[in-house]
Amino acid sequence: MKDSKASILYVEDDVNLGFVTTDNLNLNGYSTTFCEDGKKGLENFKKGKFDLCILDIMMPEMDGFTLAKEIRKINNDIPIIFLTAKTMKEDKITGFQTGADDYITKPFSIEELILRIEVFLKRSRKAESTGKTETIFEIGSYTFSFNNLSLISGKQKTILTMKEAELLRYFCMNKDKILKREEILRSVWGDDDYFMGRSLDVFISRLRKFLQKDATVQIENIHSVGFRLSVRK
């Protein structure tokens, strides 16, 4: 059992699966709040303090996509893992578009779920422990603070999700270098399968939108290879 409990909000309308998964998470040292529908999930999120959310997609009262959007209005950087049926491939893409950090297909093993949870918890702990020594990058007219998840240009401030910030930091650390798609996926997502590749395209589009006010800043698409962050002088 783990020494310090991370608090997890778990929302799943399959009660049997929910109870079994909750018991396993608790046995592995997590403090888990289980809700049977999206509406109850949102109510509990507003009342509690959580380190990570696990959301089913197809639920009564409020589906997982809507719940994720509501959670993002309150907390833009808490990790969100979606649970999706194996055949519903479009859910994975929509999930990333609504702010999810990862997805797991059903049926899943508790070992896989715990591995995914620990990846995000370790990142969060690392960000907290290094909070006093910010990692700051200048990108054209923008100032990007990774530890604050912020992108600032003049009076405009954009708060990024953790995944957006990790991707932008990777580009900043490799500015003017052509990065292969699989290289980016392995470094930022930890895998390079088809759906991770589709999610990369979604996040690239978001970053381009955030950076669009400075015409000197470009995330270039290098055909059949990958991408490059460049700042024209």
Residue-level pLDDT, tens digit, the chain, 233 residues: 444 579 999 999 999 999 999 999 999 999 999 999 999 999 999 998 999 999 998 888 899 999 998 998 888 778 899 888 755 666 667 777 777 778 888 888 999 899 889 888 876 665 555 444 457 899 999 999 987 788 999 889 998 887 888 899 999 999 999 999 988 988 887 766 666 677 888 899 999 999 999 999 999 999 889 999 999 87
Q: At what angle do helices 64-74 and 89-97 cross, to 10 degrees?
A: 20
Residue 26: predicted pLDDT: 93
Residue 1: predicted pLDDT: 40
CATH of domain 136-231: 1.10.10.10
Name the phi and psi angles at 90, rounded to 5: -65, -25
Same fold, 7-129 and 136-231: no
Q: Give, in order, the Cα–Cα distances in Å from 62 to each of 15, 41, 102, 143.
A: 16, 9, 20, 37
Distance in angstroms (rounded) separating the CA atoms of residues 139 and 151: 9
Domain chopping of the chain, boundaries: 7-129, 136-231
Residue 3: predicted pLDDT: 45
Q: Is the peptide bond before 79 cis (omega within 30 degrees of 0)?
A: no
Q: Which CATH topology does 7-129 take?
A: Rossmann fold (3.40.50)
Contact 145, 135 (CB under 8 A): yes
Strand partners, 165: none
Contact 50, 33 (CB under 8 A): yes
Distance in angstroms (rounded) separating the CA atoms of residues 84 and 104: 6
- Helix (H) or strand (E) run with residue 88 in it: none
Distance in angstroms (rounded) separating the CA atoms of residues 227 and 181: 7
The pair of three-digit structure tokens given for residue 130, joined into one six-digit string: 């290094």
